[in-house]
Structures are given as structure tokens and as C-alpha cells.
Structure 1
Amino acid sequence: MVAAKKSARKTSQDGQTGAKKVAAKKSTADEPSTPVSTARTAAPADPGDLAVRTGEDPWTAEEAEEARDALTAEADRLRAEITASEEALTGLMRDSGDGAGDDQADTGTKNVTREHEMALASNAREMLYQTERALQRLEAGTYGLCENCGQPIGKARMQVFPRATLCVDCKQKQERRF
């Protein structure tokens, strides 16, 4: 206890506020944020090198190509959906300016419709981001690795939900936190 008091007295204090000077913590910006980020990032991965769980068959070239094609088609569909939503929003925004003479119910309906279109566009953008990340991970050879723990997600899970970034255990833990 006495040693702690002595060390506290030795620290310099600001004369006006009495605040102690504290050394800043080392930045972790240069350190990898997840176990997966340090994984191989060279040329496109050999399908047999993609992560699988114990007891699962390795990815074949056909299965990897199927996943790539499905993700590419999904990305194209989402881009078209985003374009359509943005066009609808442009029309709604243009129409909302000439609401003179509308009653409150008409104005409310327009607002709800506009907010609904904005939510759809936002959701489509998020799904497009996830899909593009999955394509990047497929090319980098990190497809199928959990971004939290670095363990294989599982081939079956990846085939059902190709945008998955977490294994079942980590996903359940994440959902319990929210």
C-alpha cells in the first residue's frame, strides 16, 4: 500500500487540474484484427485448399466454381435491385416536393413508402457488400474460415449460406450478445 502511494506521488501532475499524466497505449492499427486476416492472400486458391471441417470431403473445382457462379449471380441481382430502388427513391423524392394540397394521410403514406424503399436499398447494399467479400475470400483462399476464431465454418454451411463469415458456434455467441 505504501509503495503504491509513493509511486502515485512520483507521477507528475498538471498544476492546474491535478490530472496525472498517463502514457498512451500502443496502437494496434498495424496488427491483424482477426485470425483470418493473416491467411494466404496470394493467387486464387486451389479448391482443394479451401477450409473444410473434419470428416468433410475437400472442395472440388466444380463445387468452388458453383459457389463462385452463385455469388457472382447474386451480386449482379443485388446491383440491379439497388439500381431499381434508387430509381424508385428518385421518383418518390421528386413527387414528395409537390405535396401541396395533400392531406396528412397522403403525406404520411408517401413518407412510409419512401422510408420502406430506403430500407430495401440499404439492405441490398449490405448484402452486396457481404457477397463481394465472399468472392474476395474465395479468391484469396480464406473462404470457409471463421473470421472470429479461424476454424473451418463447414462446407455444408458454406454451400447453404455462401456469404457466411462465422462458424455456427461463433454465430450463436454473437446472436446471444445482441
Structure 2
Amino acid sequence: MASTVNAADLPVRPGEDPWTESELAEVRSGLDSEIAELREGIAAAESELAERLSDSVEGAGDDPTDTGAKAYQREHDLALNYNSRELLAQSERAIQRMDAGTYGVCESCGKAIGKARLQAFPRATLCVQCKQREERR
């Protein structure tokens, strides 16, 4: 779904040029590509995890070291899958914010995040100052 929001209406920091339709389209295209890759990766990882779970039943009788190594690998894979799901949610949310006209508004202070920051990190929801404050906590 293409954005119906005028790119030039999105907030920018003082000294930055307004968003152009092509700049916003470029950021959106990157997010769309990332979303497709993440969905594909998550589906493949879940399929692989399901396969390994069925294999682990067959591995009954493994020595404790093998069992521990398999459990560690499974936990590692689950953590990676969780991270991928989180990135997917952030990317989808960025697109929703574009469509709603709130892309570029800091969720903490309400000021502009900054076009340069969003071009470098399109999933950003906080301006640099609020992000730094959050990380110090």
C-alpha cells in the first residue's frame, strides 16, 4: 500500500531539507525489501527448528554432552528468530507511521527525529537525545 501522506509534510530537524517523495519512496522500498527478507528468513528458521525438534525425539539416548549441545543450539536459534521477529515488527511499524503521517516524530518528546537519522536507520522511533537518555537508564 503506497503512502497517501505528502512527504514534504513529514517533520525534519532545523536545517534539514524537507522530505521529497523520492527520498521517502527509497526509504520505504528499503523497508519493504527488509520485511520480505525477514519474513522469508523467519519461515525458513521455523521450519528448520521444527525439523530439529522432531530429530531430537529420535536422538533419545544421546549422551549428556550431545543433549546439552542440542539444547544450546536450539536456544541460540530461538533467540535469533526472536530478534528477526522484533526487526520485522519495527520495520512494519515504520511503514505504518509513514502511512499515518507520523514518521519522523520522536515517540518520547514529539520533536523531529531527523531525516538523516531516518535515512541511516529507518526504524528509529526516538530522536538522538531521547535514545541516548533511554540507553543511560
Amino acid at match of 1:123: N
**CA RMSD in angstroms, aligned pairs only:** 1.0
Higher relative contact order (CA 8 A, sep 6+): 2
- For 2:19, the equivalent position in structure 1 comes to 59
Q: Is the 8 A contact 1:68 1:135 kept in 2?
A: yes
Q: Which of 69, 73, 76 is the equivalent residue of 1:116? A: 76
Name the larger-Rg structure.
Answer: 1
Q: Which of 67, 82, 93 is the equivalent residue of 2:53? A: 93
Deviation at 1:121, TM superposition (A): 0.8
1:174 to 2:134 alignment: yes
Counterpart Cα distance in 2 of 1:105 and 1:134? 44
Structure 2 gap ranges (5+): none
Amino acid at match of 1:55: G
Q: Is the 8 A contact 1:145 1:153 kept in 2?
A: yes
Q: What's the TM-score, normalizing by structure 1?
A: 0.74
Q: What's the TM-score, normalizing by structure 2?
A: 0.95
Q: Considering fraction of residues, name the structure with more helix.
A: 2
SS of alignment partner, residue 13 of structure 2: coil
Give the number of aligned pairs.
135
Q: Is the 8 A contact 1:51 1:145 kept in 2?
A: yes
Identity of aligned residues (%): 56
1:153 to 2:117 alignment: no
Deviation at 1:109, TM superposition (A): 1.1
- Structure 1 outlier segments of 4+, above 4 Å: none
Amino acid at match of 1:104: P
Deviation at 1:113, TM superposition (A): 1.0
Deviation at 1:96, TM superposition (A): 1.3
Counterpart Cα distance in 1 of 2:13 and 2:4? 21
Structure 1 gap ranges (5+): 1-42
